Structure 1
Amino acid sequence: MFLPMNGAGQRAHDRSRSREVVPAPAPIERIVEAQSRGDWESVTQLLEQHWSSLLRTSRAAMREVVNALPDAVLEAKSRWSAARQYLNFAPDDGRVRRVRFDFEAAQPNEAGELIDDLAQFTGQTAHERGQGHFRGAAAFAATAIEAVNGASPAEVRTLRPLLPGLRVQWATSLLFAGDIRAALTEFESAYDDAVAFDSDRMATAAAGSIALVHSLTGDFVLARSWLRRQPTALNGGLGGPGGGDGGPGDAVTVMGVLAAANIAIDELNVEEARAWLAKDPGDEVAPEQWALRLGVASRLEVLRGDPLAQSLRNRAAIRARPAHLSEDGLNGCALRFSDVGIRLALKDARGAAESLAALEAGDSELHRQAALIAHVWRLVRAGEHVQAVAVMESVPAGGRSLRVGMELLAAATVIHMRAGATARAAALFRTLTTMVAEQGFNGVLMRFGDAEYEALCLSSGVQLNAHQVRRALIAELHTDAPAVEPEIKLTARERVVLRHLLQSRKLNDIATLEHVSPNTVKTQLRSLFKKLGVSSRDDAIKVGRGNPGLWSDSGL
């Protein structure tokens, strides 16, 4: 039962309420308020600052504001004309809109039917890509590109302000389908159009995506060049991860951030790679890049010596999504290639072989190149040098990316070194280190054992700046985890329990997560300890860390 307040109580209550924190107005509210004052400079600044989030949360209101921009604003910056046309036909939420293009709200044009078709194709390619149907997405993108290529000069003039954003969508679909050559062509066209029409965001998206592709293929000179061509107002170009506002980027900057992190990893610059990944906006803001960020993070963990933790994170991320999102295109390539690297680092031969088989089953150029690198190094590590040479010789020199060329050169150096051909190995090493110095691909030097590397530096007379960094990282990678007999076979339930132990979970937590009683978990632990030949959780964890084949199911 509530009693009425006396006068003093009421005044105290009023003072308390007056001190309550008033939430800050949402960006769209601030924009509408600035519009009501006629403050168009603030309107455009706020639109630019919150563009990505507004597209997700307030697209309809955003469209009304942009349609109300006065002619003076449109004439001062042509990108607002493009933004107006884009918002009036862009699909909402990745789906094809039921209504046709709104001709009255947009600028007069001579490409009405074509714009309408491109809106439909673009919506379909984004929708298919979001569902993980990458080949279907690429087919719609190719249809849209063909339509533009067949457009009349008058139609192209009308379309050009719109093309940067459209081309980025089409190129992204081609890239995720694994067609990197066609994707690069379209990203480059998008960049040129974006620069011509003062669209900093689309220029950043295109340049960052191009840089990422070149970082994957090993052309780091080109990758860095494209990062420098990004508008510095958005992410600091190549000024370092501290550029810009210091916080995470958004969906437009994510590809450039991942490219910069990937380059830093290949330079053996662990701290810079971490700093770049800290600027990655994450799955919530840029969900399409989830597999790419796992791939980059996996390379970093293999380099810095904690691949087991990343393997568990990858497993959780993959299982949280529909299977088709990780089986095809660029996603499948990134996940499988990173998993091969993790398995090799953990000395899990069976898991590496299974992930390699899945990688080799892919039909894109990226799949073929990644599978070639993984296959050759797996053979070299196993001492199967004749087979490794046969695989290397089966690939024509013209079909090798820079990354593949340097990886195979390193593998050939190791093979000659182990065969006693010291002079030939030294000559190959000199050629390799020349390429490493040109491209900054220091990561390939981690392929050599410590003794081999020291001997090659001595015999070739080469000394690289990365020498001390490499030695420090090699020391970090040392592990003294006990090995177990290969014939030990754990049951499915024992593997599950071991994975929980590796994630530092207590007995009661495991029971809750697995929907069983604590006594059941105790029984499984006793059986697990007996098979591993240990008597404590800590010892079981040590064995698990050194022998991932015990707890992995298959590949990923």
Structure 2
Amino acid sequence: MQYVPRLPDWVTPRPRLYGALDTAAAGGLVLVHGAHGSGKTVAVAEWARQRAGAGAWVTLDPSTRSRRAVWRRILRALELDDSSRLLAEFESSDPGAFREAIGWALSEEPRVIVLDETDHLDDPEFAEDVRYLVASSAAGFVLIGLAPFFARDALPLLAAVELSPAELALDEQETAAVLAAVGVPAPLAPYVHERASGWVQGTLAVGRALSEGTATRAFRDVVDDILERESSGALVILRGLPGDVQRVARLAAVLGPAPAEALGALAPAVDIDGALAELVSAGLGMWTETERGGQFRLAPHLASVLERGAPETRDSEVIRAAARLAEESGRSADAARLLRSISDWSALRQLAQRSFREALVMDQQDWLAVTRTLPVVVLQREPVLAVLHTLLVNADPRSGASQLRATVALALSHIGNRLQSSPDPVDAVWTTVSLLGAQRVGGRYGAALKTATTLDSLLHSLTARDREEVEPLLPTALVHIGTTRLYSGHVAESREDFQLSVRSPLVSEWGVLHAASAIALTFALEGEFEHAAEAVATVRAAPKPRSWHGTYSASGTHLAEALLAVERGDADTADERLDAIERHFETIEHWPLMLWSRAQSSMLRGVTESAEWELAERIRRRARRAPTSEWMTALLLAQRVDLLLATGQDARALRLLDSARSSTALPVRVARARVRLFAGEPDAAAAQAARILDHDDLPVRWRLHALLVSAVAHSRLGVVESADAASRAAALLVESHGLRSPLTAFPAGDLEPLGLLRADPAADPSADPFAARPSLDRLTAAESAVLAALATHSSASSIASELYLSPNTVKAHLRSIYRKLGASSRAQALARARTAGLL
């Protein structure tokens, strides 16, 4: 077993405990609990060195309160082949998925995991992890703490073996062996055992005092005094040690687990090895083995007392050393708390830069607890800290809209001044990336696009030396630029940025997955589905954590897969892919694309009435937090127009378009042409489609939309040659790119005469997106006659004369016709009648 604590020289084998502890070696669970000084750690360490087999010993501390922090320690200690990937799985918020991945990794060979000081851990999900792994993997656990671990929660339901304080107590023979190890004659052992009742720490203290000859009174009085002193706490013992030893103990309390050289650097005039030996000998600390070598750890109960009162807690040099050790141990949030305690803002900023991704993915809540306490002037002066705080607030679903807006405003308030005042190009890159992130979180996409352009120019203008310094940041900067351009409608340009990020030699595994997923999404958005499918296959084939599914980094792939499924007519798969990232809806930037893709699936199912209401409601609810970009707003608006037209709500669709923030965005222009077509204005629709098609770089998706409007409009106008040309061009795009979803925006009666089919012949014929649109089939015979006359007569009186009806009767029939067709004018009613093929 790796990293078992070093055994003190007085330790004696205790084979009577082996049977219970061997339960863990057989894949079971052992709970070892008892008060401080009861010998829990030493007893388990002695067994582990003798017969535990493969595995690792992990000592917890105040930084390991959460399940995530504990597993990070465990995986690093076990040194599994895929530990780095398993660590990355914490980005997934699905405990079950990670549990299964860990179980799979621990199923190959028996391992024992010893967790010491489990009282620091308070996460019921970890209890579920232990239950699952003991039941389904080859791993066994020994949990050491003051009280039965999770006694009131999950673990009692599992058959666990306990080593209680009574079982840990030394028997008479063991007491004699401990005393003999420190030089106390055997005849004295029975009385010591009687008075100490097998208490390990008390027995050891009595033995040391007797062996050192410090007893000046009667033997029995000495034993009783020592035991009374031990019972009052370790602080009394410490005060009896030399001043240098006390100084080292206070340093150790601040540093936490630390190598001897770290303590020696802070106390160069002290014999560190000698001081640590005295602390171990006095039972006030012990050596723990880690992947970074031996580290001294003060007894937790003594450390907590000293840390609160030690003058070293205000010594900046000591705190910085403690922060370095915490960061090296993978505890960046603890390092941040330490630096925050001495107001070292520069060091905290540098730590945030080094730990940016870890803070956002692994330790969100712990880092947020730090950034929430930063003074406003610090956030204004250090934009990296301000933006990290902003992103953490945004990633917390509990953050309200007003809190997010205030945080964004604070982050942006002084970044511009920092950019103008800082001549350092490396600092300028960091600050500009920070500005870009804050602008997007705040919904300021117009400004973000300008910043992205500035950042792109800045990266290209760096000298070779400066570029080398910012090289680790380049993949992240390129993804930020690409995402900003994507949300501004510059999809092809954004893809180039993502491709550059993937090719960077310093991009992380997660960075590759994130950028590659975004590439797949860009192809799907433009309708390049052959390329989209290839990009998705590349991402799926790449090495990745098992629970990558459903994470932020996977969202681009899930969206691309949903859009691919829509084009195949597979609404179930589309919804399944969207469901995988639904839990991120409140915090993810891709929320507009999630809604847009979901609406496309609804069109495919023919569920349009409820889908339009749900789309509008979710847009309203999500936009309260922060608005999306103008282009994404246009995309969602165009989708709402499609749903409204499918249900016959043409007037609402027109009003919605009139309220558009941008009349020039491509989705809005296409939607406007389609509304004109449904309003009975095919000539205006054809003209608008022609203007849209008059662009060589038009994306495939929008070219197909415009071609379909043109084909249907010319067909209604009777211009057969133009209708055939447009429909042939549309059919070619459908065939060559596998793009079929734009066909769902038109009634089958318009498409079939042009040789175009909305879905495959095997598709469900009842899934008609236009099923809810008012139909002429519901008109009475009299209403049908009035409608037919309406095509050649412009007034109610002339229709009344032809049909031998009164003008009032004709008007009543016309009101009924308009209501049933959802029309508001003569032209619109006639257009819908022609669409249905009844005129």
Question: What TM-score do you get using the length of structure 1 for normalisation?
Answer: 0.64
Kindly tell me: are residues 101 and 306 of structure 1, through their superposed partners in 2, closer, same or farther at Cα, counting changes over 3 Å? closer
Kindly tell me: are residues 266 and 326 of structure 1, through their superposed partners in 2, closer, same or farther at Cα, counting changes over 3 Å? farther
The alpha carbon displacement at 1:293 in A equals 0.9
Give the Cα–Cα distance (whole angstroms) in 1 for the partners of residues 493 and 506 of structure 2.
23
Give the corresponding residue for 2:772: 479
Kindly tell me: are residues 268 and 356 of structure 1, through their superposed partners in 2, closer, same or farther at Cα, counting changes over 3 Å? farther
Match runs of 1:100-179 below 5 Å: 113-179=424-490
The alpha carbon displacement at 1:472 in A equals 4.8
The alpha carbon displacement at 1:259 in A equals 2.0
- What code does the residue aligned with 1:144 have? L
Match runs of 1:380-529 below 5 Å: 380-395=677-692, 396-422=694-720, 425-457=723-755, 466-469=760-763, 471-474=765-768, 477-479=770-772
Give the corresponding residue for 1:319: 620
Instruction: String of CA shifts for 1:397-443, please: whole Å, max 9, x gaps.
Output: 32522122222222222233333444654454333222211101122
C-alpha contact (below 8 Å) 2:646/2:745 kept by paired residues: no
The alpha carbon displacement at 1:452 in A equals 4.1
In percent, how many aligned pairs have the same letter? 18
Give the corresponding residue for 1:338: 639
The alpha carbon displacement at 1:352 in A equals 0.8
The yes-or-no answer on 1:185 pairing with 2:496 is yes
Kindly tell me: are residues 63 and 420 of structure 1, through their superposed partners in 2, closer, same or farther at Cα, counting changes over 3 Å? farther
The alpha carbon displacement at 1:355 in A equals 2.2
The alpha carbon displacement at 1:86 in A equals 5.2
Give the Cα–Cα distance (whole angstroms) in 1 for the partners of residues 548 and 471 of structure 2.
33
Q: Indicate the larger mover: 45-54 or 296-305.
A: 45-54
Give the corresponding residue for 2:653: 352
Give the corresponding residue for 1:230: 539
Give the Cα–Cα distance (whole angstroms) in 2 for the partners of residues 214 and 251 of structure 1.
19
Instruction: String of CA shifts for 1:437-468, please: whole Å, max 9, x gaps.
Output: 110112233345334444333xxxx8898244
| CA RMSD after TM alignment | 4.2
Give the corresponding residue for 1:215: 524
Give the Cα–Cα distance (whole angstroms) in 2 for the partners of residues 423 and 145 of structure 1.
47
Give the corresponding residue for 1:46: 86
C-alpha contact (below 8 Å) 1:446/1:470 kept by paired residues: no
Instruction: String of CA shifts for 1:210-231, please: whole Å, max 9, x gaps.
Output: 3323322222233223323325
Q: Indicate the larger mover: 119-128 or 91-100.
A: 91-100
Give the Cα–Cα distance (whole angstroms) in 1 for the partners of residues 586 and 627 of structure 2.
19
Q: Indicate the larger mover: 139-148 or 434-443.
A: 139-148
Give the Cα–Cα distance (whole angstroms) in 2 for the partners of residues 463 and 342 of structure 1.
19
Aligned residues: 421
C-alpha contact (below 8 Å) 1:373/1:404 kept by paired residues: yes
Kindly tell me: are residues 162 and 387 of structure 1, through their superposed partners in 2, closer, same or farther at Cα, counting changes over 3 Å? same
Give the corresponding residue for 2:511: 202
Question: What TM-score do you get using the length of structure 2 for normalisation?
Answer: 0.44
Match of 1:27 among 38, 52, 68: 68
Kindly tell me: are residues 286 and 450 of structure 1, through their superposed partners in 2, closer, same or farther at Cα, counting changes over 3 Å? same
- What code does the residue aligned with 2:684 have? Q
C-alpha contact (below 8 Å) 2:608/2:772 kept by paired residues: no
C-alpha contact (below 8 Å) 1:250/1:286 kept by paired residues: no
C-alpha contact (below 8 Å) 1:481/1:545 kept by paired residues: yes
Higher RCO (C-alpha under 8 Å, 6+ residues apart): 1
C-alpha contact (below 8 Å) 1:254/1:286 kept by paired residues: no
Instruction: String of CA shifts for 1:158-192, please: whole Å, max 9, x gaps.
Output: 43343222321232223224443542332221122
Q: Indicate the larger mover: 307-316 or 124-133.
A: 307-316
Give the corresponding residue for 2:313: none
Give the corresponding residue for 2:354: 87
Give the Cα–Cα distance (whole angstroms) in 2 for the partners of residues 27 and 61 of structure 1.
20
Give the corresponding residue for 1:257: 558
The alpha carbon displacement at 1:115 in A equals 3.8
Q: Indicate the larger mover: 405-414 or 263-272.
A: 263-272
Match runs of 1:263-278 below 5 Å: 263-278=564-579
Kindly tell me: are residues 213 and 407 of structure 1, through their superposed partners in 2, closer, same or farther at Cα, counting changes over 3 Å? same
C-alpha contact (below 8 Å) 1:67/1:84 kept by paired residues: no
Give the Cα–Cα distance (whole angstroms) in 1 for the partners of residues 566 and 614 of structure 2.
19
Instruction: String of CA shifts for 1:476-515, please: whole Å, max 9, x gaps.
Output: 74238799xxxxxxxxxxxxxxxxxxxxxxxxxxxxxxxx
C-alpha contact (below 8 Å) 1:264/1:272 kept by paired residues: yes
The alpha carbon displacement at 1:389 in A equals 1.9
Kindly tell me: are residues 548 and 335 of structure 1, through their superposed partners in 2, closer, same or farther at Cα, counting changes over 3 Å? farther
C-alpha contact (below 8 Å) 1:34/1:42 kept by paired residues: no
C-alpha contact (below 8 Å) 1:318/1:326 kept by paired residues: no
C-alpha contact (below 8 Å) 1:291/1:331 kept by paired residues: yes
Give the Cα–Cα distance (whole angstroms) in 2 for the partners of residues 177 and 63 of structure 1.
38
C-alpha contact (below 8 Å) 2:89/2:548 kept by paired residues: no
Give the corresponding residue for 2:662: 362
Please give the secondary structure, in 1, of the residue aligned with 2:584. coil
C-alpha contact (below 8 Å) 2:520/2:536 kept by paired residues: yes
Please give the secondary structure, in 2, of the residue aligned with 1:162. helix
Q: Which consecutive residues of structure 1, in runs of 5 or more, have no partner in the other structure?
A: 1-17, 55-59, 69-82, 103-111, 236-243, 484-543, 550-556
Give the Cα–Cα distance (whole angstroms) in 1 for the partners of residues 464 and 571 of structure 2.
50
Give the corresponding residue for 2:419: none
- What code does the residue aligned with 2:662 have? G
Greater Rg, structure 1 or structure 2?
Answer: 2
Please give the secondary structure, in 2, of the residue aligned with 1:347. coil
Instruction: String of CA shifts for 1:370-395, please: whole Å, max 9, x gaps.
Output: 11211121112222111112212323
Give the Cα–Cα distance (whole angstroms) in 2 for the partners of residues 417 and 101 of structure 1.
59
Give the Cα–Cα distance (whole angstroms) in 2 for the partners of residues 32 and 246 of structure 1.
19
Write 1 or 2 for the structure with the bigger share of strand: 2
Instruction: String of CA shifts for 1:38-75, please: whole Å, max 9, x gaps.
Output: 73756523332224779xxxxx999544599xxxxxxx
- What code does the residue aligned with 1:411 have? V
- What code does the residue aligned with 1:204 have? L
C-alpha contact (below 8 Å) 2:75/2:87 kept by paired residues: no
Q: Indicate the larger mover: 166-175 or 321-330.
A: 321-330
C-alpha contact (below 8 Å) 2:92/2:550 kept by paired residues: no
Match of 1:280 among 581, 594, 610: 581
Kindly tell me: are residues 473 and 465 of structure 1, through their superposed partners in 2, closer, same or farther at Cα, counting changes over 3 Å? closer
The alpha carbon displacement at 1:132 in A equals 1.0
C-alpha contact (below 8 Å) 1:132/1:325 kept by paired residues: yes
Give the corresponding residue for 1:299: 600
Please give the secondary structure, in 2, of the residue aligned with 1:229. helix
Kindly tell me: are residues 343 and 30 of structure 1, through their superposed partners in 2, closer, same or farther at Cα, counting changes over 3 Å? same
- What code does the residue aligned with 2:713 have? I
Kindly tell me: are residues 148 and 67 of structure 1, through their superposed partners in 2, closer, same or farther at Cα, counting changes over 3 Å? farther
Give the Cα–Cα distance (whole angstroms) in 1 for the partners of residues 549 and 568 of structure 2.
22
C-alpha contact (below 8 Å) 1:261/1:272 kept by paired residues: yes
